[in-house]
Amino acid sequence: MILTEIKDYLKIRGQAPLRDMALEFKMEQDALRPILEHWKAKGKIIQLPQGTGCNGGCHSCAPETIELYQWVD
């Protein structure tokens, strides 16, 4: 089930940009947002402030364009 797969992905990585998750799960970013909203409503993830850079990322994206989520359980 995609809810569990995304949960496991974020738990292992700690945080991930929406763009990476869309590539990993072969989904459009707009299709992933409701799933992420589900976990946000349960208090399991937070969306980090705009401008937050990825941890150890490639730095090829402008930080203000990154939509970053973090697992907080």
Question: Quick check: 71 and 15 in contact, CB under 8 A?
Answer: yes
Look up the pTM and report it. Answer: 0.81
pLDDT of residue 54: 58
pLDDT of residue 12: 96
**CATH number of the domain where residue 51 is located:** 1.10.10.10
Neighbour tally for 32: CB within 10 Å: 20
24 vs 22: CA distance, rounded Å: 6
Q: Looking at the 3D structure of the chain, how many domains does it have?
A: 1
Question: Quick check: 12 and 18 in contact, CB under 8 A?
Answer: no
27-40: per-residue pLDDT in tens? 999 999 999 999 99
* Sheet containing 15-17: order of strands: 15-17, 68-71, 45-47
